[in-house]
A and B are shown apart, each in its own frame.
Chain A
Amino acid sequence: MAKLHVSTTINGEPMEFLCEPNDTMLDALRGPLGLTGSKEGCASGDCGACSITVDDQLVCSCLMLAAEADGHELRTIEGMAQGEKLHPLQQKFLEQAALQCGICTSGMLVASDALLRRNPNPTEEEVRFWLAGNLCRCTGYDKIVRAVMETAAEMREAAQ
């Protein structure tokens, strides 16, 4: 069985990899690409721990074939910090203790970032609805929602 050769862009860098036709993008990220920040919580689209963006569209990488990445631009949690400098969302999650075990965290951050790029001024309800596909067994969500709201407010201020 021939492997497929995929040329894609991940976090701004051109990347190539080989995959089986039925590998998921999450398999490829965590396997040959060595980007293990995206987590596998369920492999069925329910938990959001594997969230990435494809051409700025938020998706579950476990519900996408690796072969589909060809020619597209992907962003993962690994592209969020600029070198040593954390993204404001990452910084706020730390300050607010918006994580405990951390399994959901990269998905929460990628999804929250996708929300703030679309809507810099979301209501609490909009944040909760947006993150409904990201499950967390530890925090009870309140700290996560607060961290996103506060980051949004600070980013709006900084942008002025």
Chain B
Amino acid sequence: MQWSAPRNDGPSQAAGNTTGNTFIMSDIQYVAPRTLDEAIGAYAAAGSAARILAGGTDLLVQMRSGAVKPGLIVDIKKIGEMTAIEETKDGGFRVGAAVSGMALHDHPRFGKVWPGVLEAINLIGSKQVQGRASAGGNLCNASPAGDSVPALVAAGAVVTVAGPQGRRELKVEEVPAGPGRTNLKPGEIVVAFTLLPRPKGASDAYLRMIPRTEMDIAVVGCGVNLTMKGGVCTDARVGLGAVAPTVLLVEAAAKALIGSKLDEKALEAAARACSAACRPIDDKRGTIVYRTKVAGVLLRRATAIAAKRAQER
């Protein structure tokens, strides 16, 4: 809630805004280019005062509170590549950075192949927020508690970014640098997520712990991605959110699962590995002890769901 935020209705603005609920005034521009090259050009030229606008569900809240005062807003939703969901012939997916949660939900195939990634993205906010919020925005906002990020880390998603120096690819876990900070270079924009084709017997799941049942920020989030063959786990990836300054890839947990039948011993080892990876903070939503314990609990539960789904595929 932003009622306590400073409001600064500059005189130049007052005439144009009869509700008076304007943001802090400075020269601000809005552009909605149709090509990626134009977007990169405008974004890079405007320097650190520029902000990319995808769904705006973080950016507009930050502008309203005065935390962010962009000089230039570059809306990327008119760029075809940014809002496209493409299933490749071999069964992989390429999801545009600005695709909304609702659009991904309505895709006839995506949720069947990547149920864990979809449920993570669909946990973001209300239906209204889903109508706008994107995985690209969730990643670039770089909250340690972003819900889609652990699931995309577990999925092994590759992020395509484009900037003044051209295109490059990063792993999802390489993008966040710390709370609110990314490893993107000046002028770089996230373009799309690529998810590889999956073998039969592979599936994923995402669970988060929140104090309420809806509309809250994760105390812990856990994404698990498994491949099962004849009851044995042949491949696994585990992503953990809200327990460290950035979302974590927990390789030790995956190692504990791989080669096992997901028996108690393997689950216990993987849960311990998750708890051991935690470097959480204490806050009103959860203590360090609680978050550390819950990380292991969610690993077990998410693994069970992913394994069940893998069996059915």
Once A57-B102, A59-B132, A133-B129 are accepted as A-B contacts, the answer to whether A22 and B61 lie under 8 Å apart by CB is: no
- Tell me, yes or no, whether A79 is within 8 Å of chain B by CB: no
User: Which range contains the number of A residues in contact with the other chain?
Assistant: 35 or more
- In chain B, positions 79-123 with a C-beta closer than 8 Å to chain A are 100, 102
- Tell me, yes or no, whether A91 is within 8 Å of chain B by CB: no
Cα A24 to Cα B59 in complex, Å, equals 12
- Tell me, yes or no, whether B141 is within 8 Å of chain A by CB: no
B18→A43 contact, CB < 8 A: no
Most buried by B among A32, A44, A51: A44
Considering the complex, give the chain A residue whose CB is closest to the CB of B129: A45
- In chain A, positions 123-141 with a C-beta closer than 8 Å to chain B are 129-130, 132-134
Once A27-B19, A30-B19, A44-B1 are accepted as A-B contacts, the answer to whether A64 and B132 lie under 8 Å apart by CB is: yes
B28→A22 contact, CB < 8 A: yes
Cα A30 to Cα B17 in complex, Å, equals 10
Residues in chain A near residue B27, CB distance under 8 A: 1
- In chain B, positions 125-171 with a C-beta closer than 8 Å to chain A are 125-129, 131-132
Residues in chain A near residue B125, CB distance under 8 A: 45, 133
- In chain B, positions 1-40 with a C-beta closer than 8 Å to chain A are 1-3, 12-13, 16-19, 21-23, 27-30, 32
B13, B61, B100, B102: the one within 8 Å of A45 (CB): B61
Residues in chain B near residue A40, CB distance under 8 A: 19, 21
Residues 256-280 of chain B: 1 if any A CB is under 8 Å from the residue's CB, otherwise 0?
0000000000000000000000000
Cα A111 to Cα B13 in complex, Å, equals 32
Residues in chain B near residue A45, CB distance under 8 A: 57, 60-61, 125-126, 128-129
CB distance from B120 to the nearest CB of A (A): 16
Considering the complex, give the chain B residue whose CB is closest to the CB of A31: B18
- Tell me, yes or no, whether A147 is within 8 Å of chain B by CB: no
B16→A21 contact, CB < 8 A: no
- Tell me, yes or no, whether B289 is within 8 Å of chain A by CB: no
Considering the complex, give the chain B residue whose CB is closest to the CB of A36: B19
Seed contacts A45-B60, A63-B57; 17 additional CB < 8 Å A-B pairs:
A18-B16, A19-B16, A21-B29, A22-B63, A23-B17, A42-B3, A44-B1, A44-B2, A46-B215, A57-B132, A58-B131, A59-B128, A63-B129, A65-B73, A68-B32, A68-B53, A132-B126
Q: Could you list 13 examples of A-B contacts with CB < 8 Å?
A: A20-B16, A21-B30, A22-B73, A30-B18, A42-B3, A45-B126, A57-B100, A57-B132, A58-B127, A63-B128, A68-B56, A132-B126, A132-B214
